[in-house]
Structure 1
């Protein structure tokens, strides 16, 4: 006869830590398991830290999983916290041989997309957030770095701001676990402002170059994203310190340039793409946002003109000496704006909206080009 405790352990292997996104059995979170003759299962679970925000979810999922195991009539669950040595072992296990370094090097299998624009107000953050969620909807493992330190808005668009307070990440020693929204792991400077001191979602950050570079570097090294298929960065507008830092830290990144149809905006957008090329990045394509607004009579109201996206793509193709396509033209959409204000991206709230369809088409295009192993070191190690 099979040991009921083995069935409990198998059930626990299906319980996923909601922050780390790995089975709790792989994380050293299962302490002791036993099942007595009456079918009472005794299970010990060790949380990573005191006050773990995922504690309730983990406890619920463990109880449900154990109760469904063969031979279990009742569940006796004990919750404790890892010792410092156990936490240190966990962080070492998660980071692996790379340690506390930037995992998104050119040899990484994660595709990195830096979303940039020449000027502010073109909807770059809205495009980034919706594109990330659309990629997650396709079963990809996606992370977002809100690198727009001065104008951070990704947490609000993804519903991580409540009553003016931004959800904070969990710290496990020197490792940071990013909050997850709509399947997307997200990090932003807005998550580190202290609401107790009046710092909330509306707080301004006044930093200069070295602090900006250090912040972006720490987002890449200290935040545990796990094994990602895609990492998106929402860059600040223009060609300043952050754009240069991202070029230095992520030389293998693809760049998506967001512009509006207005020729003047497209002219400025081209500059951000040229800077990306100068720092060794690849200009992947252009997204034209705020295109024509469809009217009830079937006509299209072009509030911001037309042709800017195609013009930017053509000029970037010439400047970079390779084809830079116009990936999509996203029409003006009230639902798109409402979704951003409500913290529910339009690709979730109204996937049939023309703006959602346009953004989803870009996600389809990106999802179809996974990063391959050709030309990359596999770093084999003898066993």
Structure 2
């Protein structure tokens, strides 16, 4: 059986309200269903007076979904006032906020309502459908480019299974500091940085199940003293899984950037990443084509992987294209040395990186008040 939102809703139609003896879908109690790669997140909205049946309903929901063999099911509950309860609350001079509560909530609605980082203006996720396409390289250089434009920027190494930022930003030799239960971020190349790599031994493999990954990601995001930021870049693990779902429920996002190389096989995986973000109600800010072309010592540009493939994929899926980044010996060398600032001393590479950042800020400005987004000038 193909598993999607419709299939999950069909199974939920077998779950009956124990008092009304009608299914919870027909009763409009199921107010959100999000599904991605075996992970289902379901929100059920009950009348406030029916809070006592929550555990019973959750058990019936899990039983109904058992035959779908989902990897993980998250069931959360919200509450609303019935018309009679609203009338009584209004008559008593209170409860208006509860009476006006929206019945339908996406994961991002939940995140916006309980935003744990109110001093961060724009949270941007950088993801990829597969590993090896340079997602962390793009994340780091976007963060540095935005900082060079005058913005206050932070970057979080959300790739908790294989953190790359300690090497790319040169934090691997620094000692982590905390104040109380808050992590003090490193400040490198004009960017505030936090990474799981600072909390574990360099050669220790991170073999974590979903709940452990969820907890580590949440701690890094919410227990880092970010201060006031214009942008927080989050470098996600490759592929689709627990961490993007956790992010969608935890932080309100300005949107996501998907990194892709030109080949068809990379495009296929990038499309899965696009669909994942769409299912999680996260705006797609654009696609970046990394390793787009190579400039030889003779000055000739070589399209090793088929330049333009990611741009075509973006057009076919109706999402913005933010630009291309070439294969560059200096970029590799500077990443290994933890010195991304040096990338901007190369006029050609620096211009490409700043152009990608400029297009990104434009897309962010379309998702919120213009005065939130610093402008970038290229000199």
Partner SS, residue 290 of structure 2: strand
Distance 1:302 1:280, change over 3 A: same
User: C-alpha deviations, 1:262-292, integer Å up to 9, x for none?
Assistant: 1110111111111011111000100000011
| Count of equivalent residues | 256
* Structure 1: distance between partners of 2:158 and 2:253: 17
Answer yes or no: is the 8 Å Cα contact 1:176–1:223 preserved in 2. yes
Q: 1:191 to 1:360 in 2, by over 3 A?
A: same
User: Is residue 151–residue 231 contact of structure 2 (8 Å, CA) maintained in 1?
Assistant: yes
The equivalent residue for 1:306 is 307
Q: Deviations over 1:174-222 (max 9, x none)?
A: 11111110111111111112xxxxx22x322110100111111112221
Within 2, Cα distance between the matches of 1:367 and 1:265? 25
**CA-to-partner distance for each residue in 1:12-36, whole Å, 9 max, x for gaps?**
xxxxxxxxxxxxxxxxxxxxxxxxx
Distance 1:192 1:295 in 2: 40
CA contact (8 A) 1:102 1:221 kept: no
Match of 1:330 in 2: 325
Q: Structure 2 CA distance, aligned partners of 1:348 and 1:296?
A: 19
What does 1:96-135 align with in structure 2 at a 5 Å threshold? 102-104=115-117, 110-135=121-146
CA–CA distance in structure 2, aligned partners of residues 264 and 301 of structure 1: 20
Contact 2:116/2:251 (8 A) holds in 1: no
1:176 aligned to which of 175, 178, 183: 183
> What does residue 358 of structure 1 align with?
352
Partner residue in 1 for 2:223? 222
TM-score scaled by length of structure 1: 0.63
Secondary structure class of the residue paired with 2:154: strand
SS of the residue corresponding to residue 229 of structure 2 reads coil
CA distance in 2, matches of 1:349, 1:284: 24
Distance in structure 2 (CA, Å) of the matches to 1:252 and 1:158:
24
Partner of 1:342: 337
1:299 shift after superposition? 3.1
Which residue does 1:187 correspond to in 2?
194
1:52-63 matched pairs, under 5 angstroms: none
Q: 1:110 to 1:169 in 2, by over 3 A?
A: farther
Distance 1:257 1:362 in 2: 12
**For structure 2, which runs of at least 5 residues remain unmatched after alignment?**
1-113, 373-379
Distance 1:282 1:367 in 2: 14
Question: Residues 296 and 258 from structure 1, CA distance in 2 versus in 1: closer, same or farther, beyond 3 angstroms?
Answer: same
**Matches of 2:309 and 2:323, distance apart in 1:** 12
2:155/2:232 contact within 8 Å kept:
yes
3-state SS of paired residue (1:218): helix
CA RMSD of aligned residues (A): 2.1
**Equivalent pair of 1:330/1:358 in contact (CA under 8 Å):** yes
Q: Residue 60 of structure 1 aligns with which residue?
A: none
Show structure 1 runs of 5+ residues with no match.
1-100, 194-198, 318-323, 377-383
Query: How many Å separate the matches in 1 of 2:179 and 2:251?
Result: 25
Cα deviation per residue 1:118-158 (whole Å; 9 max; x = unaligned)?
11010110111111011111111111110001110012101
- C-alpha distance in 1, partners of 2:144/2:307? 28
Aligned to 2:46: none
Task: Compute the displacement of 1:102 (Å).
Answer: 4.9
Q: Call closer, same or farther: CA 1:215–1:257 in 2, change over 3 Å.
A: same
Structure 1: distance between partners of 2:222 and 2:115: 5
Q: Distance between the aligned counterparts of 1:311 and 1:104, measured in 2? A: 36
Contact residue 115 and residue 257 of structure 1 kept, 8 A: yes
Answer yes or no: is the 8 Å Cα contact 1:252–1:280 preserved in 2: no
Check if 1:142 corresponds to 2:137. Answer: no
Spell out structure 1 runs of 4+ moving beyond 6 A: none
Could you tell me how far apart the structure 2 residues matched to 1:288 and 1:136 are?
21
